[in-house]
Amino acid sequence: MIDLHTHTTFSDGELIPSELVRRAEVLGCTAIGITDHVDYTNIEHVLSCVAKAEYMEDVMDIKVLPGVELTHVHPARIAPLAELARKLGAKVIVVHGETPVEPVRPGTNRAAIEARVDILAHPGFITLEEAELARENGVCLEITARSGHNITNGHVVRMASLAKAKMVVDTDTHAPENLIDSKRAVEIAMGAGLNPNEAKRIVLDHAIIKELLKR
C-alpha cells in the first residue's frame, strides 16, 4: 500500500509528520506522500518544513515523499506554481481537483493535467477528453477514500478506464481515522467499479513510486 495524498498540521491535518508516518507504517504503508495544502502564500514555508520528514526513512521501514497539494489555485497559475514546487524540492505534486463538494474553479482539472502534475485528486466529473489527456501526460487520477469527495469515484474510474489513464487510491488523510490498510484500499477501488484483480493491481503495484523518484 502506498498513500500519496495526506495532510499534517502544516495545513489542516491533525497530526504532525512523525505521528502520521508512524501510523501509516503500522498499517503496512510502504510509502507516503505528505502533501499539505499550498498556494503562492505558503508554499516555501510548508515545503521547507515537510522536507525534514525524510529523516524518518533512516529509522523506519517506509519511504517518505515530501510534496504539496495545490489547492483552489486559479487555473492560470497552476502550471507556474507546480514548477516552483519542483524547484523547491517537492517529490509529489497533487492538485485539488474539481470535487463537487467544494467550489473549485472550473478549468482546474485541465490546467493540472496540462501542467503534468503527478496526481489529480478527487477530479469530480472529469471528462473523457481530460482523462485521455491525463493518460498522454502521465497524470494519475485519484480514487479517493475521503468522504464527500468519494461520491464521484465511480465516474472517475469509468472515465479513466475508457481512456486507459493511470489511477491511484489515496486517503486524503486529515485525521488518524482516515488512514487505511491495503485491504480497505482494494475495497474502495472495487466499490468504485474495478474488478478485484484491477483493484489489487492499482493498490499493490508500486511502479508509480519509481516514476516519481525519476522526476
What single letter denotes the amino acid at residue 199? A
pTM: 0.96
Question: How many other CB atoms are there within 10 angstroms of residue 68's CB atom?
Answer: 31
Using DSSP's 3-state secondary structure scheme, residue 40 falls into: coil
| pLDDT per residue as tens digits for the range 97-146 | 999 999 999 999 999 999 999 999 999 999 999 999 999 999 999 999 99
Amino acid 40: pLDDT: 98
Largest CA distance in the chain: 44
| Statement: residue 90 has pLDDT above 70 | yes
- Domain that residue 87 falls in: 2-214
* Distance between CA atoms of residues 22 and 110, nearest Å: 35
Kindly list the strands in the beta sheet with 2-6, ordered across the sheet, starting from the edge strand earlier in the chain: 2-6, 31-38, 63-70, 92-96, 119-121, 140-144, 167-170
pLDDT band at 205 (very low <50, low <70, confident <90, very high): confident
* Distance between CA atoms of residues 143 and 154, nearest Å: 9
CATH number for 33: 3.20.20.140
Over the chain, what is the mean pLDDT?
96
Total domains present in the chain = 1
